[in-house]
Structure 1
Amino acid sequence: MPFIETKDRTSIHFTDWGGADRRPIVFTHAWGVHKGMWDYLLPEFLDAGYRCIAYDRRGHGRSDIAELRCDLDTLADDLAELLESLDLRDVLLVGHSLGGAEAVRYLTRHGSGRVAGLVLSAPSAPMLAQAPGNPNGIPPEVVGAMRQFVRTDIGAMLDSWQVEDFFGTARPISAALADSVRRQMVDTPVPVMLATFETNMGVDLTAELPGIELPTLIIQGDADINNPLELTGRRCAELIPHASLTVLPGAGHGLYLGEADAYADAIGSFAALLPGRHRSAAVFAG
């Protein structure tokens, strides 16, 4: 299994499918889960001619964690070390939820020299928590209740999820597949879940988003109750200079599975128009 070792001696696990002559897509996953969230999308992108790299955030999946450092700068630095270790160029960077915030911080911290385009999928950006500059954010009492669930019994919170609310209704999701997403969260170490929860809820990228000069696709469902569209994706589209927003009607936070066909089509069409030295990949027929 391929790993890289970061400067603080954390082993980051990744998978790398496709050839070096293809445009690389690097996938960063959501809070609490691991790179397995992308598994059912990868064949679509591989068939369309892309190289697909997905990795486990430190402390998640098969990645270890040398010390409990899960601030956004550290997570962005891990992404930078992965791109540098593999010497990736002309990357399409796809980040979902917290992974979207990581992608933004990577670009503002490390620059866009290796990246051709950005996809923010239901992003945890500009910010989630209620604050003077974000009056419609998640109230402190709700954040506190969620924190308590993560600390004591995240299963109780997951039991309250409705499959249709999270994934949407366009594509039926089996109980086994929905359970596998829950299992990823239950299996992530509690200290890591708490640390990344604080990172996710503490994000404020409002001042960073206008500095992103890359072509950017924001894709989100209008029924997302985790990261509501008007709070996150819509505001990102207003703040990023070269952003386009694709809204999938009726889709929830798990649109990468619940709206997999439309989701892959939108990203594939966006990717096919990006400049770069890699041979062109196909636009999805959809």
Structure 2
Amino acid sequence: MPFIAGSDANEIFYKDWGTGRPVVLAHGWPLNSDSWEAQQLFLADNGYRVIAHDRRGHGRSAQIWSGNDMDHYADDLAALIQALDLREVTLIGFSTGGGEVARYIGRHGTDRVAQAVLVSAVPPFMLKTDDNPGGVPIEVFDGLRQGSIADRSQLYRDLADGPFFGNNRPGANISQGMRDSFWHQGMQAGHKNAYDSIAAFSATDFRDDLARFDVPTLVIHGDDDQVVPFDVGGRASAALIKDAELKTYAGAPHGIADTHKQQLNEDLLAFLNTYKS
């Protein structure tokens, strides 16, 4: 299996499909690159080189003890882009991966970046604080930490069976396979890595990172997202990124890479095709 050395010599697994201008996919918590498989296959079939990696401590990447924070996630992404010598890249981040993309641009700039996409993403800042009064109360994230320590296997079941895919909404019919895949990917993540990542995605302030975006940017978010609420995530990010395009998926939950995969695939391809080198 292909690996590169991350920012502090940890092993980062990646999948590299197709040929053409490169697209790099950054996944959500507590998942891995397999969560992007529908988009990776579709975009590779449509003329792009599509690369998806497992974040440190997740999936097949090394379960390194330290550095489970956004700065290291972004530096690992930089190491991947440099190791593969990727240029004119479109960076696409889902949920926590959106934070990874934002922090990458904040720390490393856009010399190698042509476009950016944030999908159900955690920026600009999830946590409710005095200067972010519309954020999510810390008790929500403390509950995730408590659930992770008590029985993380059941925590992932509860997320998959409930808010992640919107399966707790009237009339929802999310397949058992889709929910099982979420649980399976979550259990592949290192316990400490996934635990530490809760703070990384919830308490990292990306507002300054978004101010550094200077490439065409698409923001996609469901307006019934129960994990990263639309007003906290997509709407707020689009307002902070110069000239960002916001696409709102009416009634859509957090996990739109699965529940709305055809719509997402087509929107991503259309955006990719707008780039002229």
Task: List aligned pairs for 1:112-261, cutoff 5 A.
Answer: 112-161=110-159, 163=161, 165-168=163-166, 173-261=174-262
How far apart in 2 are the matches of 1:28 and 1:162? 20
How far apart in 2 are the matches of 1:151 and 1:66? 19
Q: Structure 1: which 4+ aligned runs deviate by more than 6 Å? A: none
Per the TM alignment, residue 131 of structure 1 is displaced from its structure 2 partner at its CA by 0.3
Per the TM alignment, residue 65 of structure 1 is displaced from its structure 2 partner at its CA by 3.7
- Could you tell me which amino acid in structure 1 is paired with residue 2 of structure 2? P
Per the TM alignment, residue 139 of structure 1 is displaced from its structure 2 partner at its CA by 1.1
- Residues 207/266 of structure 1: CA separation in 2 closer, same or farther (3 Å cut): same
**More moved, 149-158 vs 94-103:** 149-158
Per the TM alignment, residue 159 of structure 1 is displaced from its structure 2 partner at its CA by 3.7
CA RMSD of aligned residues (A): 1.8
Q: Secondary structure at the match of 2:132?
A: coil
Q: Is the 8 A contact 1:97 1:122 kept in 2?
A: yes
Per the TM alignment, residue 202 of structure 1 is displaced from its structure 2 partner at its CA by 1.2
Identity, % of aligned positions:
36
- Residues 231/7 of structure 1: CA separation in 2 closer, same or farther (3 Å cut): closer
| Counterpart position of 1:72 | 70
Q: Is the 8 A contact 2:123 2:205 kept in 1?
A: yes
Per the TM alignment, residue 242 of structure 1 is displaced from its structure 2 partner at its CA by 2.1
- Residues 166/209 of structure 1: CA separation in 2 closer, same or farther (3 Å cut): same
- Residue of 75, 81, 84 corresponding to 1:83: 81
| Structure 1 spans left out of the alignment, 5+ residues | 277-286
Q: Secondary structure at the match of 2:226?
A: coil
How far apart in 1 are the matches of 2:117 and 2:229? 17
Using the size of structure 2 for normalisation, the TM-score is: 0.94
Per the TM alignment, residue 186 of structure 1 is displaced from its structure 2 partner at its CA by 2.5
| Counterpart position of 1:11 | 11
Q: Is the 8 A contact 1:12 1:56 kept in 2?
A: yes
How far apart in 1 are the matches of 2:36 and 2:220? 15
How far apart in 2 are the matches of 1:186 and 1:227? 22
How far apart in 2 are the matches of 1:176 and 1:40? 14
Is the aligned partner of 1:102 residue 2:100? yes
How many aligned positions are there? 274
- Residue of 29, 38, 58 corresponding to 2:36: 38
Per the TM alignment, residue 150 of structure 1 is displaced from its structure 2 partner at its CA by 1.4
- Could you tell me which amino acid in structure 2 is paired with residue 82 of structure 1? L
| Structure 2 spans left out of the alignment, 5+ residues | none
Q: Secondary structure at the match of 2:237?
A: helix
How far apart in 1 are the matches of 2:75 and 2:219? 23
- Residues 162/51 of structure 1: CA separation in 2 closer, same or farther (3 Å cut): closer
Is the aligned partner of 1:92 residue 2:85? no
Q: Secondary structure at the match of 2:38?
A: coil
Q: Is the 8 A contact 1:8 1:66 kept in 2?
A: no
Could you list the per-position Cα deviations for residues 30-66 of structure 1 after superposition, in whole angstroms to 9, with x for gaps in the alignment?
0111101011222211221111100000111111044
How far apart in 2 are the matches of 1:65 and 1:225? 29
